[in-house]
Structure 1
Amino acid sequence: MRSTQRSESINSFLNRFLNAKLKLYEFMSQIDRALSRLRNNELKDDFDCNHESPVLMTHLMQLEKHASEVFTRNTFAMVCDKIKSEARLSISNCVHDTTWETYTFKKFGGDDTTWTVTYRCGEQKFECYCKLFDTAGIPCCHYFGVMKSRNMLQITETLILPRWTTNAKDDFTLEVSNNSTPTHIIQIARYFGAIHFYLVTFRVHW
């Protein structure tokens, strides 16, 4: 868990099952319950992604539709929030060059706060001063402002991180299958690694 947000999220989830008074065998039993709950939630999310199509509700329906096809449902919900937020932005300045464009956004009817996005046309790379994509891994509303300005109908591949996509699990399975280490060794290492993480996190001593 490298992200503080993800660490807080998993800690909040595990607090439903664990407390400092648990004996070791009770601790392991509760960990199994927590993992089972996570697996069930994951199976439900997979089913929803494969068998349900969300209702498109934003003003950028083509981009929203593409997002619904590539992102998992939870990530898609966060992306939709950013698409909706784009409707409150206006472009206050735009500078074009041969290889890049710079857009300056401000909130419509708001204060003088501005956000600057640099878009490199050839590489289709974005950079925004809000740094949301760098921290959370999803496109910010300012990126969607640039995509709308350029009449893009799909989210560029540079803004789609594999770990948030519906086929992330397939890519991970392929990576494991190509690994020279035997699968059962990998599973055992993960199991004891998870135990060590929980023991350290909740200060459980042998």
Structure 2
Amino acid sequence: MILDYAQFGDVVNFDTTFFTNKEYRPFGIFAGFNHHRGVVIFGAALLYDETVESFKWLFETFLETNGQKKPITIFTDQDAAIEKAILEVFPETWHRLCTRQIMQNSIKHLGNLMKDETSFLKDFKTCMSHYEEELEFEKAWKKLCNDYRVENDLWLDRIYGLKEKWAKCYMKKTFSIGMQSTQLSGKLNGDLKDYLKFSLDIVQFFKHFERVVNDKRDKELKVEFDARNKLPRNLFSKSPIMKQAGEVYTPWIFEEFQEEYKWISACYIKFRNESNALYEYVVAVVEQEGDFKVLCNLFESMVECSCRKFETFGILCCHALKILDVLDIKFIPEAYVLKRWTRAARDMVVKDNKGKQVEEDVHLDS
């Protein structure tokens, strides 16, 4: 798990669940995505309770075990104790809330607004996941409150106060690798139920939990084997940039990259300024709303887009790829090939908190 966290612990999902152990204690799991976008477990603990002090102890112990490496972003359910512990232990980490849980809570707290087939839930979801710009979000939120006469609703006020933790326009500031909720933990809980029984004692419980971890590793081994023995289908086989992508990215990420590349032909340049070292462009997409500002410095191999696809997910967007194509750049600049998404993601030396090299798990030997 130390090795997994060192390689893929940039974005972490933390969740607690009950009913999986005889002691009826909360079971906390740290998890994330590997380079194949498969679920990987970084750590787990059986807690006595869900107080601030318990979470602080858990987070501090987790950091100590992993050489004080802190995640860039952590996703959790909305919980005051977890939030306070994160602020104290991970003050520099972006804390994001599970959007799925917020939607469920909106039904719980505002179910009366969903009677008579109103569009409240749809409009609320649009506020959460549609708007790219903060001003657009603010206008839409104000309209939502006015249209449904909920300007003074306490739950909505609390959620609005946490908008930077869930609204899409604010999530653009965060490296999230596409994670939006703790649904990942829901999948893990389902796997746990396949192995764990309520009657198990602590020793039996963790032995069975190790079986779940080993299952995840076995699945990665199979995916890794398949990836090494066949390249994904390249729809643009004559393109040097796509050939490079097929060779360096894992198949799942290559498909994501190829999907962006497909949109290049639909992108067009509305404005350009190439008079300075830093080129400026405004790119739009046919039959789609919104303009995107792309900056490019040829001398520094720099290309940035206002959609922030690379900064949030880790691959270049179609708007940036359009500019590379226009400028006749045939390969992805090295700075924009994120190692965590490549076939070589696990090629690194990892040391534990005592400075000893961590050996790769036998289940992941090629």
TM-score normalised by L of structure 2 = 0.45
Q: Which amino acid aligns with 1:11?
A: S
Structure 1 vs Structure 2 CA RMSD: 2.7
Q: Give the secondary structure class of the aligned counterpart of 2:220.
A: helix
- Report the Cα offset of residue 14 of structure 1: 0.6
Q: 1:64 to 1:27 in 2, by over 3 A?
A: farther
Q: Which residue of 1 aligns with 2:182?
A: 8
- 1:105-124 equivalences under 5 Å are 105-111=283-289, 113-124=290-301
SS of 1:169 mapped into structure 2: coil
Deviations 1:127-146 (A, max 9, x none): 21111111111111111111
Amino acid corresponding to residue 126 of structure 1 in structure 2: V
Matched, 1:49 2:249: no
Match of 1:152 among 324, 329, 333: 329
Match among 82, 86, 91 for residue 260 of structure 2 = 82
1:131 to 304, 308, 320: 308
Consecutive unaligned residues of structure 1, counting only runs of 5 or more, are: 188-206
Q: Which moved more, 1:146-155 or 1:10-19?
A: 10-19
1:168 corresponds in structure 2 to 345
Which range moves more in the overlay, 156-165 or 95-104? 95-104
Q: 1:13 to 1:58 in 2, by over 3 A?
A: farther
**Structure with greater proportional helix content:** 1
State yes or no: 1:61 paired with 2:61.
no
| 1:2-21, Cα deviation, whole Å (9 max, x unpaired) | 35417635313312223597
User: Which structure has the bigger radius of gyration?
Assistant: 2
Structure 1 vs Structure 2: percent identity of aligned residues?
A: 24
Partner of 1:15, secondary structure, is helix
Tell me, in whole angstroms, the C-alpha distance in 2 between the residues paired with 1:34 and 1:17.
Answer: 7
- Kept in 2: contact 1:72–1:164 (CA 8 A): yes
Per-residue deviation, residues 35-92 of structure 1 (Å, max 9, x unmatched)? 1222122212322332212221148732221101111112111111111122321111
Structure-1-length-normalised TM-score? 0.75
Task: Tell me the alpha carbon deviations over residues 68-119 of structure 1, each in whole angstroms, 9 at most, x when there is no partner.
Answer: 11111121111111111223211111110331111211111334x2111101
> How many pairs are equivalent?
181
CA–CA distance in 1 between the matches of 2:237 and 2:321? Answer: 11
SS in 1 for 2:346: helix
Contact 1:59 1:87 in 2 (8 A): no
Decide whether the 8 Å contact of 1:139 with 1:159 is kept in 2.
yes
Q: Whole-Å Cα distance in 2 between the matches of residues 29 and 6 of structure 1?
A: 31
SS in 2 for 1:79: helix
Q: What is the SS of the residue equivalent to 1:87? A: helix
